[in-house]
Amino acid sequence: MIRANRHYAKLKASYLFSDIAKRVAAYQSENPDKEVIRLGIGDVTRALPHACIEGFHKGVDEMADDATFRGYGPEQGYDFLREKIAKFDFNSRGADIAGDEIFVSDGAKCDCGNFQELFAQDIKIAIPDPVYPVYLDTNVMAGRTGIFEDGRYQGIVYLDCTRENNFLPELPKEPVDLIYLCFPNNPTGTTITKAGLKEWVDYARANKALILFDAAYEAFIRDEDLPHSIYEIEGAKEVAVEFRSFSKTAGFTGTRCAYTVVPKECMVYDEAGEKVSLHALWNRRHCTKFNGVSYPVQKAVEAVYSQEGQIQVKALVSYYLKNADLIRLSMGELGFTFVGGDNSPYIWVDGQGRDSWEFFDMLLSKAGVVCTPGAGFGKCGQGYIRISAFNSRENVEKAMMRIAEALK
């Protein structure tokens, strides 16, 4: 008899964003005449930058000719792209990352979900609350937690992010082995300073722990003093892996491309306490389970690093940041308090005593606006909603007017 992975039974029935999509679809089928504006899942709405489209076309044309056609590429990504990523995203900010420490992939969600495979079953894991659900759910699937009780999985060290600590996780009181951090944060939109990040790097070094640093929203940082990468912090190369994505940076949610940085200095430990290269482990996994991102997509991404590409990508991100400004202004005028939205596309709004899902349902039914209920990101998200700035200016303006009307 083929038996199911019993740990899946501990999960909530469906993934947060699938759950929301179902509710929205049900609303739409009951109200076919109502136009719904989606400020829920962080999915981009604007076309790829022109430079990327040109790169993409060139890549496709090369595939059309036997002389330039390419079959399997290197699993880790083509050198032309890995070298540019290292130079522009890291070396230019003083972070000493080499091209062969970059693993190009089809998404940061997959990478940060898959990375936990490299670790022992009985490690202690610290996860912020609220949190992007992938970090938690993938460890539940892997059997690293107990059951879900009172809104939490047993065995996880939750790092509460609340109004009291400005939604910033604090160092765990008990020793942990693996720490998930995400800045600019999803879902709260908060950022971390270099000094704040240094505390985590120092903690990881002192405790032989590892940080999985999700920097998928790095392109939204406009504040000069904020770190864009954990490798801007001294010593981080020994204790941190960083995930980046072109989804939000360059509009690749549908085109798919991301990368993970695994520095060669980064070590984990075997049963005997001997050092094991994390780079070698991830490389082994990557080559076994992944055949690389398609050549035309990598050519499209390469163009992000051209002079025009850099200008266009910046303009694209600024467009969404202006939407975020409008959301902040409008929610503020309506008397709500919030964080995020200045170096982030997400605005984390305090529902003033409303239950997250009730607030979500009310905005959907009365305003036809989709947000994300904070409780879907964890216990500490209860009472909040997340509003995403990913939509057209016109729709964001309309959504804000409708919300104001619905709350009258």
- Closer residue to ligand MLT (CB): 41 or 141: 41
Tell me, what DSSP letter sits at residue 170? P
The residue (of 39 and 125) whose beta carbon lies closer to ligand MLT is 39
Residue in the block written with tokens 């694209």: 316
Q: For ligand MLT, which is the closer residue by CB, 20 or 278?
A: 20
Minimum CB distance to ligand MLT, residue 376 (Å)? 10
177 or 218: CB nearest ligand MLT = 218
Residues interacting with ligand MLT, by CB under 6 A? 41-43, 109, 132, 186
Three-class SS of residue 103? strand
Helices (H) and strands (E) in the chain, counts: 12, 17
Within 8 A by CB and 6+ apart from 303, the residues are 49, 51, 52, 54, 55, 56, 309
Q: Measured from the CB of residue 351, what is the shortest distance to ligand MLT in angstroms?
A: 18
Kindly state the DSSP code that residue 86 receives in the 8-state scheme: I
Buried b (16+ CB within 10 A) or exposed e, 120-158: eeeebbbbbbbbbbbbbbbbbbeebbeeeeeebbeebbb
The nearest distance, CB 132 to ligand MLT, in angstroms, is 6
Closest distance to ligand MLT from the beta carbon of 77 (Å): 20
CA–CA separation, 68 and 111 (whole Å): 30
CB of 392: closest distance to ligand MLT in angstroms? 17
Q: DSSP assignment, residue 335?
A: T
The Cα 138–Cα 134 span in angstroms is: 6
Please, what is the minimum distance in Å from the beta carbon of residue 333 to ligand MLT? Answer: 25
Q: Does residue 212 contact residue 135 with C-beta atoms inside 8 Å?
A: yes
Residue bearing tokens 């990478």:
111
Q: Which residues contact 117 (CB under 8 A, 6 or more apart)?
A: 142, 285
> Considering beta carbons, is residue 198 or 248 the nearer one to ligand MLT?
248
**Residue placing its CB nearer to ligand MLT in the complex, 21 or 281:** 21
Tell the residue number behind the tokens 């770190």, with chain if given: 227
Cα–Cα distance between 353 and 72 in angstroms, integer?
A: 54
Q: Give 78 or 115: the residue with its C-beta nearer to ligand MLT.
A: 115
Shortest approach of ligand MLT to residue 197 CB, angstroms?
21
User: CA 111, CA 243: separation in Å to the nearest integer?
Assistant: 7
- How many Å apart are CA 312 and CA 120, to the nearest integer? 43
Nearer to ligand MLT, 132 or 200 (CB): 132
Closest distance to ligand MLT from the beta carbon of 327 (Å): 15
Beta-carbon count within 10 A of 192 CB: 21
Nearest-approach distance from CB 42 to ligand MLT, in angstroms: 3
Question: Whose CA is closest to 76, among 110, 109, 101?
Answer: 101
- In whole angstroms, how close is the CB of 247 to ligand MLT at the nearest point? 6
Sign of CA dihedral 371, 377, 383, 388: negative
Closest CA to 294 of 20, 72, 31, 19: 72
Cβ nearer to ligand MLT, comparing 89 with 214: 214
Closer Cβ to ligand MLT, 250 or 278, answer by number: 250
* Least distance (Å) between residue 44 CB and ligand MLT: 9
Which residue's Cβ lies closest to ligand MLT? Answer: 42
- Which residue, 298 or 388, is less far from ligand MLT as judged by CB? 388
